[in-house]
Structures are given as C-alpha cells and as structure tokens.
Structure 1
Amino acid sequence: MKQNQHFGFGDKTEIQDIGGGLKRQMLGYNHELMAVKIWFDKGAEGYVHAHRHSQVSYVVEGEFHVNVDGVIQILHAGDSFFIPPHVEHGAVCPTGGILIDTFSPPREDFVEDLS
C-alpha cells in the first residue's frame, strides 16, 4: 500500500510471506501511525523482541499466548493487548489466527520491506 492512499482493498493489497508461518498485509500508514494485518499458521510464533514503537494489537481470530514483559496471557477473538515502547513481547498461536497490529510511529522496517 502506498503511503498516500486513503483506501485499502484486501483482495488488491499485497500479502507478504515473512517466514515462520507468518504473513503480513499493510492496511495503511503515514508518518504517525501504521496498521498491519498478520496471519499466523497453526503453531507459528512471533519471536520475543522489543522496538521503540507503541503497539496495540487486536485478536481477530484464533488463540494467542501473548508474552508482554514476561507476563503471559491467553487471548481470543475480541481481545487486545498494548505494548509500550522498548518492552519485550511475543506471541505463539497454537490454533492459527489473525492479529491487527497498530504502531506509532510506523515501523520503518516494514515500509523498507515493501521496497
């Protein structure tokens, strides 16, 4: 998705295979905010990491075992979690599922991957 677009269409926006049973689709972004749809295959893991961005994630479907700063919770569709900047976090999806991740500011590395 180009930065100046106002609308995104799921069937026309590229879905990137980012490996490890994960796929990513950019929903929209500018210099302040980014939203991304992430598909997890059954058993896929978003490795524990930290970044400078604030993040809110919403569980669309599936079961996720989410680790935020060493605290693990089991989340399902309709649940969400917040990650402050520089806090370690990760998720395992034993069932397969979908997250909507939002970041502020946008993840520069995600934009670079589009190039």
Structure 2
Amino acid sequence: MQNESAHFTDGATAEIEDIGGGLRRQMLGFNDELMAVKIYFDEGAIGYNHAHRHSQITYVVEGEFHFNIDGVTTVMKPGDSCYIPPFADHGATCPTGGILIDTFSPAREDFLEEK
C-alpha cells in the first residue's frame, strides 16, 4: 500500500464519505500497519455482518449499538469497546444513531482504494 495520512487531521474539515445505508466514514489516520476511522450511524442504520483479515477494535463514542461477533450479540453504549479477531463474522445495528471509532491492523486497503 505504501500510504500514510497527514500527521494531523482536523475533524471539522476532514472529508466525511457517505458509504450508504445511513452510514458515513471519516478517515482519522493511517499507514500500512494501522488505521483509525470514525463511523457515523443514522438512527436504525445497520452495519451488516461481514468478516475481513484485519484485527479490529471498536470504541463507542455515542449512541447504542447491538453488536454481533461470531453469533454473540451484546448492547454497547458510550465508553464500551470490543475486539474483533481476524476473519470473525461481525456487524452492528444502531437503533439510536451514534458514532464508532474503528481501528484496524493492518490498514483496510479497501477503504483507501474506494477514494
């Protein structure tokens, strides 16, 4: 990949990409080995179950999320976080609207290729 973001990101002016289905994505920082992304969920939006090769940690900034990892569902609220191992099936529903911070290792190449 051989990419990296600027050292500083201004959250007020950084692009927020509409990725459909009531979801928007803002890149916070990345290099080949690590990526942080802010995901905005509209009320009722669904991050459909999927799996990928990357390790992921998700932190709930605001809202309530019904988060599923490998068939186990839990309700997550602000301040909660979860670890998703590589290739684990996972997804989330957000009945309230909310914001997540997702971190990935290595970086999600597909997020950068879509630009």
Q: What runs of 5+ residues in structure 2 fail to find an aligned partner?
A: none
Letter of the structure 2 residue corresponding to residue 48 of structure 1: N
* Alignment match, 1:80: 81
Residue 32 of structure 1: SS of its match in structure 2? Answer: coil
* Alignment match, 1:60: 61
Deviating beyond 6 angstroms after TM superposition, the runs of 4 or more aligned structure 1 residues are: none
* Alignment match, 2:96: 95
The separation in 2 between residues aligned to 1:37 and 1:45, in whole angstroms, is 15
Could you tell me how far 1:12 is from its partner in structure 2?
Answer: 1.8
* Alignment match, 1:27: 28
Q: What runs of 5+ residues in structure 1 fail to find an aligned partner?
A: none
TM-score, normalised on structure 2?
0.96
TM-score, normalised on structure 1?
0.96
* Alignment match, 1:13: 14
The number of aligned residues is: 113
* RMSD, aligned α-carbons: 0.9
Could you tell me how far 1:47 is from its partner in structure 2?
Answer: 0.3
Percent sequence identity is 67
